[in-house]
Each structure stands twice: as structure tokens, then as C-alpha cells.
Amino acid sequence: MRFEPHDYQRHAIDRLLRNQEQALLLDVGLGKTVIALTAIQDLLQLGQVRKVLIVAPLRVARQVWTDEAGKWDHLRGLTVSRVLGTAQERLAALGRDADLYVVNRENVVWLVRHFRREWPFDMVVLDELSSFKSPSAKRFRALRAVRPYIRRVVGLTATPASNGLLDLWSQVYLLDRGQRFGGYSGYRSLYFAQDWSGEWRPRPGAEQRIYGRLADLCVSMRAEDWLKMPERTKRQIDVALPDEAYAEYERFERELLIDEADITASSAGVLAGKLMQFANGAVYDDRGGVHEFHDAKLDALEELVEEANGNPLLVFYAYRHDAARIVRRIPWARVLDDEDSIRDWNAGRVPLLLAHPASAGHGLNLQDGGHQMAWFGLTWSLELYQQAIGRLWRQGQRHPVVVHHLVARGTIDEDVMRVLSRKAKRQDALLDAVRYRARRVKQDAREVG
């Protein structure tokens, strides 16, 4: 296929050629991969880089970079070696002569330990830069150790700060080695302050100051500004739990949330997860057993499949028991678990594809297989939510996209929808929502008493 770059793609390629440190904060569907590959090929031909490493989510590392290199006429000469699989397979891949080597992010620590000071890659592309948002994560510390040996670093992501501005520090550090923000403690104390609950929140004007420091380092573009995107419709389907199940939900909620004072940022995620599981119909116990309470969402999904009238449907689930229960109810549903399932979906051979947003949320092109998706189990993560929708609502989609949300009425699902509609940051929004529900539970208990 002939590559005829848009103006914004030419600009992004030029930035990668001119700058040794660059982040492309490009919206889903703007072609980050082909932009990066085009720049890599030019840099190799100019002799400015010798050996390139791509770090990507596993599914993206397995398929996307190789597929994109083979898709475009001008990239056919690039050779790609996938550093995946067992340790023996990874070592064999490293031993092959190639232009670029693709490794999944889970093996970054192994890769750094393997080479140590003999690090051979003079250019590193971090596909989904936001995967390195934690300064305490092993993968960040590993790359930080070899950063002095890397001449060029490129970060690719659509959502660099989906959970808050604190996440930016480690991502920026891997690009500029602390030139703009210094150390983590200094960055945090300069731009953030602790509130009454101990949470770090941005100081007034911090966002503008932070982004101002990043203006020369980042190219940021939204799809709506550059492409003619297909129409997108969001639809909320309210699901009423059976009376007995809803009474059980309320009892379950009271037991979990009765003591608001003990709810911290970490415990809020656990509590919210339990309530969201119940809203979906089943809950894990402490030993991993599954307890089923209702089939309300399964009934609603079955009606939605019938309503789709043969149109393929991409369904996002939140928990393994969600997928298991859906397959039990609709046996011809297929779980996205390998490259064959992706190809079959895009070829129109899968009428109902089940995917988890954490595994299908980044980099996969699914727009050829359908234009309708449904959220069986919701997510608090704005990043995962936006990336998942971008699997269908992206460049190349030929039909209007419909996003259905199955929302259990009167449950925490409604709070999740409010958070997503406000595009709030996950941790603060989750904590506030759970504490709000706890206060309501206590108030109801007092009124009953």
C-alpha cells in the first residue's frame, strides 16, 4: 500500500528526525506506528541510528509492528525481529540481523539484565509511553539504568496522564533524563500539595506550567482536529436488577462501605471492584471462587445481540467470570486471545468477540470487523476506556460507531458512567465516588435507625 502522509504526519515525522528526544501524544487512529517506522527508516538510511528497539504491549509487539512494516510499500525493506516467547526464543531473536527489535514491556527487565553495560540499541521507541508512569516500577528502573547509553528516545501514547499529572514525571524522565523536572520528589513538591486525605493534588496553575515545560518535547494532536472521523453514538442501557438481587446488593454495599473513614485510595479500588462485580452478576470470594447473584446483564446483552440483527458486536468485559458466563449463555461468542481471533474478527468471521480493555485497549486495529461495541463490565480507567473505543472508532472505519453501556441501575455502575462522562482522572474520581457512596450508606442507616 502506498503511504501518502497527511500534513500532521509529515510534521510528526520531521520532529522525530530533528529531535533526539520526542514524545508523540497522538490520538487513537492518527497512525503513530507508521509515523515512527517512517522516521526509523530515514534515520537508518542516514546512518544516524544503527539498532532500534521497540518496547510495546504484548499483543502489539506480536502483531502490530510487523504488520505495519509489511503493509506499506516504502517500509518493505525494514526487517523486524520479535524478541518474544521463552528465554531461548528471545535470545535467538536478538541474535538475528534486523533493523528493529520488538520486545514486550514485561521483558524489559530481562533485556536490560541480559545486556547490562553492553546495551546495543542506540534508539528506543516506547510504544504506550504511559506504561512507564510509575517511578517505582521495575521496568522504569531498568530503562533508567541504561538510558545514558541510548541516543534517541521516542515515546508514543494517546493518554500520558490519564490518572493524573503525577504520572508524567517518570515518562518525561525516560525522554530527557530529568532535564525539565529534576527528581521525582522535587517535581511533586513544586507542582502538587497534599489534601486532607493525604492525596497529592495539583497546585493552582500547575497544569499550565507543566505543559508549558513540555512544549518542545511533545507533539500533541487529536483525531477530530485532523481526520474526518465517523459518527459516534454513546448509548446507556439501564439494567434493572431483580428485586431480590438488588436487596442483596444493598446489603453487600452496606457491609463494604459502612466505615467511610477507613477508605483510602488503595482500598477504594478493592471496594469498587467488589461492587462492580456484583453489578455484573457474580463476585469472587477470597479464595477465587465465583458466587453468582443475577443474570440481568446477561439478559440485556442477549437482547442487544438480537437487536444487532447479525451485525458483529465487540463486547468488553471486566472480570474472567464475566467472559465465562457470557460464553456459557452465548456459546458462539469468542474471546480475543490470539492473533487468529483478531484476524477472524477483521475478516467478518466472528459475530461476537469478547475482549478485556487492558489487553485489547492499545494498538490493535479492529475497525474492519464491525462498528458496534458494548461494555458489559465498565472500567474506571479513562485511558483504557478511550483506548478501547478507539479500536473501532478510528481512521479506516467505514460506518458510524455505536458504543453501548450496560449500566446496572442504582449501583456503582452509575458512578462510573458519571466519572467517564466528566473525563475525570481515575484515582481521585474513584476515591471520591466510593466515599460518596459510603456517606450515603451511613445516612440511610441513620434514617432507618
pLDDT in tens, 248-266: 999 888 887 765 546 565 5
Residue 322, SS3?
helix
pLDDT confidence of residue 339: 82
Which of 51-55, 202-206, 357-361, 390-394 has the weakest average pLDDT?
A: 357-361
On whether the CB atoms of residues 237 and 405 are closer than 8 A, the answer is: yes
Do 227 and 396 form a contact (C-beta atoms < 8 A)? no
d(CA 207, CA 225) in angstroms, rounded, equals 22
The model's pTM is 0.64
| Cα separation, 329 vs 299, whole angstroms | 9
Superfamily of structural domain 232-448: P-loop containing nucleotide triphosphate hydrolases (3.40.50.300)
Q: Considering only 251-265, 350-364, 372-386, which range has the smallest mean pLDDT?
A: 251-265
Residues 6+ away with beta carbon under 8 Å from 81: 93, 94, 96, 98, 100, 101, 102
* In the chain, ranges of CATH 3.40.50.300 domains: 232-448
Q: Where along the chain do the CATH 3.40.50.10810 domains lie?
A: 7-226
DSSP β-ladder status, 21-26 and 123-127: unpaired
Q: What is the 3-state secondary structure (H, E, C) of 272-292?
A: HHHHHHHHHCEEECCCCCEEE
The residue whose grid cell reads 513544586 is 190
Per residue in 75-112, pLDDT tens? 988 999 999 999 999 999 999 999 999 999 999 999 99
In sequence order, the 6+-apart residues with CB closer than 8 A to the CB of 159 are 130, 382, 383, 386, 387
Pairwise CA distance, residues 44 & 98, whole Å: 11
Give residue 266's pLDDT: 58
Average pLDDT over residues 9-27: 91
Cβ neighbour number for residue 207 with a 10 Å cutoff: 13
Q: Which three cell numbers stand for residue 372?
A: 458496534
pLDDT in tens, 34-60: 999 999 999 999 999 999 999 998 878
- Residue identified by cell 504520572 is 167
**Model pLDDT, residue 402:** 86
* Assigned fold of 7-226: Rossmann fold (3.40.50)
CA gap 160, 201 in Å, rounded: 17
Tell me the average pLDDT of the chain.
87
By the 8 A CB rule, do 24 and 155 touch? yes
| pLDDT score for 364 | 72
Q: What is the 3-state secondary structure (H, E, C) of 34-94?
A: HHHHHHHHHHHHCCCCCCEEEEECHHHHHHHHHHHHHHCHHHCCCCEEEECCCHHHHHHHH
Mean pLDDT score, 333-348: 88
Comparing 69-83, 173-187, 275-289, 411-425, the range with the smallest average pLDDT is: 411-425
Does an H or E element contain 23, and which?
strand 21-26
**Euclidean distance between CA atoms 273 and 289, whole angstroms:** 15
